[in-house]
């Protein structure tokens, strides 16, 4: 253990006990000039040696800070630099690497160019990774955290030289892990969701607004707050249960209902009104609610929903007009009173932490829906992660059409706009692409969230100029087919930014970004987008990969089961400890998805474990097969999903592949034979080719846009053609 090191109160060092007392190469994940003097103290009693790039690789302030330290300097451009570093480490010196100036993604986990990090890994010396976070510089607009550390360093375990390959991936993952811990130490992330929303309403109440695309009405966030606060008083009187149900589509009503639930100190449960009766009733029973916020018109429209008795329903259009005097009172209060006083009047605590803040249910695409209890810390963290990486100006408008029971729809179109002040343009259905395009065009929307299934509709039914205002199109929920991405770019001239996340991660973990302009910068630009990937990890997230069969940990560049750790990762399923134990181990969450990290930190998803079949001892990916079949059948650019591959039990090989298709004719036997020949000619392994085909009227898809795996498996069990 290194000797005690003295730091000012403005510096917080996590895991200082990990600092080596012997020689080592210290690598900070990123760096500003002020870090150099602070990190120099990590040397303790050891002599400090700086390892630098050529002087032209640095901005003048970093170069000046390096010179002011007065330490010995080794340049990577020097002859025999590897030997020089090895000797310095062998002599017990602390060699501090000074990363070059770069243009990096906002709040980057790792801001060192790949080739530079590869060079460091090949020096064959012990490496001490150091994560870095600046909690006062990179913040949400409502973050008023005072005091505390200006910078947080997280010291990773000492990594000894590897005797074989894979060291780059080991160091890369260690730096990301250390950075995630530094970010997770932010005090702001422990604020309660209600307090964060109050701060958003106070700061953005006059400038932010929701434009309801269904009726064209525009309502300021101040009025949304006033209506929600008045409704919250009534909710407290109506129910003593900790949770309250909400069954509403995106729009002004859905926004008011969710805000009212939080301001009442209740846990909102947005129900999936498109799910089957059994799934909904299971969710209702699990959540233990006795009151629902909804609307008359919606109840009449969605008659298939298993509505509870009328006495349990609270109809917004009946209630809110009666609350008008109280709404006016709260509107005045928002204008005149500071946030702490408003919080006291509403009974909202400052700290939220791991307490349950919202309950969502998984889609049930591969089993019975599970209640995902998201904490205050989960939601505030994911809003912070998403907002900081996105870095959109507050005046940019967001299109909210994803269902509120969809995790991405909840985080990005409920909590995020209020906290950051983005105007929100809503519409109750993501399927009506013509109407959505009209809203984007009319109101100059900048950010649109969608899924590949919903995006297909834009290709044939929307005019190019209607999407001209969009700065960013983010898609998730299912894999973005390469042909769809190509067709969208070809028609609209706008790349689709694929992202990734799960309900259990609140949900966002990754997304690609548009390439930044580097015309006026002398510094290299680190990549922020990679086609085929789901993007780089958001700040605060760490990743590890395990073998899906043996569960042994492998390096992150190897394909395997993806695990996440971070402040947005949930703490467990509602009342299901056994299922929680299956996916959570020491705060690491097992996603159920197979993938790998590349050298620049981009995550590639190769399929969901439930979308793999083990045939003849080999893991066969359904989604990859679907891409080959899509090309073979020339289905690129189709507005709707036309095929799906599923696995069914097979006595001989364990599983057999079945192709569901809406394009097959009556002569399916001949068609599957012809498809087999075509795929073989394309180099597709014989093991990957479905031997059965089932004609279907439509491919089952959930409201979120995901493939309905359970329904597909039921169809595949029907008699097919061998």
Range of lowest pLDDT (333-342, 549-558, 636-645): 636-645
Same domain? For 235 and 345 the reply is yes
* Beta partners for residue 372, in sequence order: 360, 573
Q: Does residue 162 sit in helix, strand or coil?
A: coil
Q: Tokens 């014989």 — which residue?
A: 686
Average pLDDT score, the chain: 89
Which pLDDT tens digit goes with each residue over 215-229? Answer: 999 999 999 999 999
| φ and ψ of 632, to 5 deg | -65, -35
- The pLDDT value given to residue 364: 55
Q: What is the pLDDT of residues 363-397, one digit of tens each?
A: 655 457 889 999 999 999 999 999 999 999 999 99
Domain C-terminal end among 163, 185, 207: 185
Number of C-beta neighbours around residue 128 at 10 A: 24
Quick one: which of 351, 445, 360, 344 has its CA closest to 395?
Answer: 445
**Angle CA(273)–CA(274)–CA(277) in degrees, nearest 5?**
80
Between 663 and 250, the more confident residue is 250
Domain identity same for 104 and 120: yes
Q: Compute the average pLDDT of residues 171-185.
A: 97
pLDDT score of 639 = 62
**CA nearest neighbour of 271 among 316, 307, 234, 309:** 307
Question: Which one of 597, 627, 648 terminates a domain?
Answer: 597
Query: With helix as H, strand as E and coil as C, how does 683-715 read?
Result: CCCHHHCCCEEEECCCCCECCCCCECHHHHHHH
Rounded Cα–Cα distance for residues 538 and 138 (Å):
13
- Beta carbons of 419 and 141 less than 8 angstroms apart: yes
CA distances 721 to 632, 664, 708, 717, Å, are: 19, 12, 22, 11
For residue 657, give every residue at least 6 positions away whose Cβ sits within 8 Å of its Cβ, in sequence order, or none.
613, 615, 620, 622, 625, 645, 646, 647, 688, 689, 690, 691, 692
- Find which of 67-81, 86-100, 469-483, 547-561 is predicted with most confidence, using mean pLDDT: 86-100
Q: What is the pLDDT of residues 595-616, one digit of tens each?
A: 999 999 999 988 766 667 767 5
Q: Quickly count: other Cβ atoms within 10 Å of residue 166's Cβ.
A: 14
Number of domains in the chain: 3
Query: Are 221 and 177 in a shared domain?
Result: no
pLDDT tens per residue across span 268-277: 999 988 877 8
So what's the pLDDT on residue 5? Answer: 57
Phi, psi values for residue 449, rounded to 5°: -100, 140
Q: CA-CA distance, 99 to 28, in Å (whole number)?
A: 8
Same domain flag for 381 and 440: yes
CATH, residue 371: 3.40.50.12780
Residue 478 has a pLDDT of 76
State the DSSP string of 250-305. Answer: SSHHHHHHHHHHHHTT-EEEE--TTS-HHHHHHHHHHHT---EEE-HHHHHH-TTS
Q: Report the pLDDT averaged over residues 641-649.
A: 83
Q: What is the domain extent for residue 222?
A: 193-597
Q: What is the pLDDT at residue 137?
A: 86
In whole angstroms, give the CA distance from residue 241 to residue 430: 32
pLDDT of residue 651: 63
- Are residues 568 and 448 part of one domain? yes
Answer whether residue 608 is part of any domain: no
pLDDT of res. 704: 61
Query: How many residues are listed for the chain in this entry?
Result: 722
3-state secondary structure 14-70: ECHHHCCCCCEEEEECCCCHHHHHHHHHHHCCCCEEEEECCHHHCCHHHHHHHHHCC
Taking every pair of C-alpha atoms in the chain, what is the biggest distance, in angstroms? 82
pLDDT in the model for residue 632: 83
Considering the domain architecture, whether residues 353 and 211 belong to the same structural domain is answered as yes
Return the H-helix or E-strand segment holding 426: strand 424-426
| Helix runs in 41-134, H state only | 60-68, 81-90, 114-121
Chain centre to alpha carbon of residue 71:
42
pLDDT in tens, 650-682: 766 667 888 888 877 766 667 778 888 788 887
143 and 241 inside one domain: no
Whether residue 646 lies inside any domain: the answer is: yes
350-356-360 Cα angle (round to 5): 130
d(CA 706, CA 384): 26
CA distance 233 to 326: 9
Angle between helices 452-461 and 433-443 (to 10 degrees): 80
Does 6 map to a domain?
no
In whole angstroms, give the CA distance from residue 139 to residue 402.
26
Q: Which residues contact 372 (CB under 8 A, 6 or more apart)?
A: 359, 360, 361, 362, 407, 503, 504, 570, 573, 574
Domain end among 185, 212, 247: 185
pLDDT (tens digit per residue) in 431-456? 899 999 999 999 999 999 988 878 88
Q: Is residue 602 part of a domain?
A: no
Tell me the three state secondary structure of residue 445. Answer: coil
Q: Phi, psi at residue 148, to the nearest 5°?
A: 75, -175
CATH code (residue 646): 3.30.300.30
pLDDT digits (tens, 9 = 90+) for 277-297: 888 888 999 999 999 999 999
CA distance linking residue 212 with residue 210, whole number of Å: 6
For residue 8, is pLDDT > 70? no
Looking at the structure, tell me whether residues 120 and 216 fall in a common domain.
no
- What CA–CA distance (Å, rounded) separates 683 from 634? 17
Q: Which residues pair with 400 in a beta bridge?
A: 426
For residue 611, being part of any structural domain is answered with no
**Residue 554 shares a structural domain with residue 505:** yes
| Cis check: omega of the bond before 507, within 30 degrees of 0 | yes
Percent of the chain at pLDDT above 90? 64
pLDDT tens per residue, range 30-61: 999 999 999 999 998 899 999 999 999 999 99
In a shared domain, residues 534 and 627 = no
Tokens of 75: 């340049």
Q: Encode 353-412 in three state secondary structure.
A: CCCEEEEEECCCCCCCCCEEEEEHHHHHHHHHHHHHHHCCCCCCCEEECCCCCCHHHHHH
Number of Cβ within 10 Å of residue 468's Cβ equals 13
* Residue 496 and residue 623 in one domain: no
Write the CB contacts of 235 (distance below 8 Å, at least 6 apart in sequence): 244, 260, 261, 264, 266, 291, 293, 314
Residue with tokens 């009442």: 264
Give the alpha-carbon dihedral of 665, 666, 667, 673, to 10 degrees: 60
| In-domain check, residue 551 | yes
pLDDT band, residue 146 (cuts 50/70/90): low
Confidence of residue 109 (pLDDT cuts 50, 70, 90): very high
Q: What is the pLDDT of residue 722?
A: 43
Tokens of 635: 């289905």
Contact between 562 and 555 (Cβ < 8 Å): no
Residue 145 neighbours by CB under 8 Å, 6+ apart: 135, 136, 139, 186, 187, 188
For residues 221 and 231, what is the distance between their CA atoms, to the nearest angstrom? 15
Q: Is 621 helix (H, G, I), strand (E, B) or coil?
A: strand
pLDDT at 2: 44
Question: pLDDT digits over 190-247, tens only?
Answer: 999 999 999 999 999 999 999 999 999 999 999 999 999 999 999 999 999 999 999 9
What Å distances lie between residue 142 and 423, 447, 449, 713, CA to CA? 16, 21, 23, 47
CA distance 97 to 708: 50
Helix H or strand E encompassing 12: strand 11-14
Q: Please give the structure tokens belonging to residue 73.
A: 């300097």
Look-up: residue for tokens 């307490």?
Answer: 355
Residue 144 lies in a domain: yes
Residues 119 and 239 in one domain: no
Q: Would residue 111 count as lying in a domain?
A: yes
């Amino acid at each position: 253990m290194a000797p005690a090191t003295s730091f000012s109160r403005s510096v917080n060092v996590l895991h200082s006990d990990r600092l080596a007392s012997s020689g080592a190469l210290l690598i900070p994940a990123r760096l500003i000039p002020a870090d150099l003097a602070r990190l120099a103290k990590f040397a303790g009693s050891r002599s400090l040696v700086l390892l630098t790039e050529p002087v032209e690789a640095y901005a003048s302030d970093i170069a000046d800070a390096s010179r002011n330290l007065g330490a010995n300097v080794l340049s990577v451009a020097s002859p025999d630099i590897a030997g020089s570093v090895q000797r310095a480490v062998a002599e017990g010196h602390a060699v501090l690497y000074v990363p070059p100036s770069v243009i990096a993604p906002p709040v980057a986990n790792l801001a060192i160019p790949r080739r530079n990090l590869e060079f460091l890994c090949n020096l064959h010396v012990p490496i001490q990774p150091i994560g870095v976070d600046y909690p006062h510089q990179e913040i949400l607009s409502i973050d008023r955290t005072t005091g505390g550390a200006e910078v947080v360093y997280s010291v990773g375990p000492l990594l000894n030289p590897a005797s074989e390959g894979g060291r780059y991936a080991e160091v890369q993952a260690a730096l990301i892990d250390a950075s995630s811990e530094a970010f997770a130490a932010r005090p702001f992330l422990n604020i309660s969701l209600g307090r964060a929303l109050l701060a958003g309403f106070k700061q953005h109440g006059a400038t932010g607004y929701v434009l309801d695309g269904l009726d064209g009405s525009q309502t300021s966030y101040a009025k949304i707050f006033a209506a929600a606060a008045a409704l919250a008083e009534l909710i407290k009187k109506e129910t003593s249960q900790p949770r309250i149900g909400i069954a509403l589509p995106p729009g002004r009503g859905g926004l008011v209902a969710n805000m009212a639930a939080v301001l009442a100190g209740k846990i909102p449960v947005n129900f999936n009104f498109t799910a089957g009766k059994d799934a909904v009733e299971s969710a209702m029973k699990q959540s233990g609610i006795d009151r629902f916020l909804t609307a008359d018109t919606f109840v009449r429209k969605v008659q298939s929903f298993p509505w509870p008795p009328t006495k349990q329903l609270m109809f917004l259009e009946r209630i809110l007009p009666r609350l008008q005097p109280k709404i006016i009172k709260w509107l005045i209060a928002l204008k005149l009173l500071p946030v702490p006083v408003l919080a006291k009047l509403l009974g909202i605590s400052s700290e939220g932490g791991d307490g349950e803040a919202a309950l969502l249910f998984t889609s049930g695409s591969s089993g019975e829906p599970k209640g995902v209890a998201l904490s205050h810390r989960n939601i505030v963290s994911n809003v912070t992660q998403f907002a900081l990486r996105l870095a959109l100006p507050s005046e940019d408008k967001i299109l909210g059409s994803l269902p509120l029971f969809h995790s991405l729809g909840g985080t990005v179109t409920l909590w995020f706009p209020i906290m950051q002040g983005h105007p929100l343009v809503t519409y109750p259905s993501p399927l009506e692409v013509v109407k959505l395009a009209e809203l984007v065009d009319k109101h100059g929307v900048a950010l649109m969230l969608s899924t590949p299934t919903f995006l297909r509709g834009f290709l044939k039914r929307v005019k190019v100029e209607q999407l001209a205002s969009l700065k960013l199109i983010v898609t998730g929920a299912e894999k973005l087919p390469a042909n769809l991405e190509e067709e969208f770019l070809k028609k609209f001239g706008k790349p689709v930014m694929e992202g990734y996340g799960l309900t259990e991660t609140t949900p966002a973990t990754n997304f690609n970004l548009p390439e930044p302009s580097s015309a006026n910068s002398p510094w290299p630009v680190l990549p922020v987008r990679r086609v085929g990937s789901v993007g780089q990890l958001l700040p605060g997230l760490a990743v590890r990969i395990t073998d899906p069969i043996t569960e042994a940990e492998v390096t992150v560049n190897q394909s395997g089961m993806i695990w996440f750790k971070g402040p947005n990762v949930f703490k467990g399923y509602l009342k299901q400890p056994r299922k929680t134990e299956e996916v959570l181990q020491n705060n690491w969450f097992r996603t159920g998805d197979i993938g790998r990290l590349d050298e620049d930190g981009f995550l590639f998803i190769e399929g969901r474990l439930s979308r793999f079949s083990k045939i003849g001892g080999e893991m066969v990916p359904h989604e990859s097969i679907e891409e080959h079949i899509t090309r073979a059948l020339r289905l690129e650019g189709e507005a709707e999903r036309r095929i799906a591959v599923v696995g069914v039990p097979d006595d001989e090989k364990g599983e057999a592949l079945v192709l569901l298709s809406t394009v097959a004719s009556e002569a399916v036997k001949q068609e599957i034979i012809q498809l087999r020949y075509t795929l073989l000619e394309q180099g597709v392994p014989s093991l990957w080719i479905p031997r059965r085909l089932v004609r279907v009227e439509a491919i089952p898809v959930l409201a979120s846009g995901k493939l309905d795996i359970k329904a597909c498996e039921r169809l595949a069990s029907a008699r097919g053609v061998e």
